[in-house]
A and B are shown apart, each in its own frame.
Chain A
């Protein structure tokens, strides 16, 4: 079946602009995660959804970052007033039931470049 998909694959924007990154999880997966990964580093947790609700948003770096999952499937990560330090690969993952021990399946990521 289809895996996790993310769009766009690449996004170049200017400092101060607003961007939206989209994630389509595996069908039937109730849990969805957003991470960001900088070169040479592991993924850094941003937010976790169980269904439509954000069960853990403790990884969001500041209030410029926001994510939604209105129907419990597709999720959008929104970044306001982008800064050069936001440049990274943004990874989305989904898992069947969520929780701390479920295997996460990652999408290919969106490479965000802020000029």
Chain B
């Protein structure tokens, strides 16, 4: 079956660093996405990993280990506007075109 697990909620302090973990079990693998979703808004793309390693993009970095079925999103220099849900999504290699989303991690950034 297809399964994606990520923590339900996290709280961090403005200016700090936070790591949001994601583990997945899917039939094949074509890549892993991270999306940000503010309450009541549409998800917006943050990152895509298909090879093992760290992809850095400004304050946000994403890591992938395919052998472990594991990814994390690292947010540095947290700002209040980073309070949102962070969705881990996997593109399985099942012959179709689905993207499987996790339930999301709600991040609360406090002053």
Contact with A along B37-75 (1 / 0, CB 8 A): 000011111001010000000000000000000000000
Chain B interface, DSSP helix/strand/loop, else mixed: loop
- List the B residue with the shortest CB-CB distance to A92: B42
Contact with A along B78-111 (1 / 0, CB 8 A): 0000000001010111001111111110000000
Which of A41, A42, A103, A108 has the largest count of B CB atoms less than 10 A from its CB? A42
A26 to chain B: closest CB distance in Å?
A: 13
Is there a chain A Cβ closer than 8 Å to B13's Cβ? no
- Give 28 A-B contacts (CB < 8 Å), ordered by A residue: A33-B99, A35-B101, A40-B103, A41-B103, A42-B4, A42-B102, A43-B43, A43-B87, A43-B101, A48-B96, A48-B97, A48-B98, A50-B97, A55-B96, A56-B97, A56-B98, A58-B96, A91-B43, A100-B31, A100-B93, A101-B31, A101-B48, A103-B33, A103-B48, A104-B45, A105-B45, A107-B42, A109-B42
List 9 additional A-B contacts (Cβ < 8 Å) besides A45-B99, A56-B97, A105-B45.
A33-B99, A40-B104, A43-B43, A45-B100, A100-B97, A101-B31, A101-B48, A106-B42, A106-B44
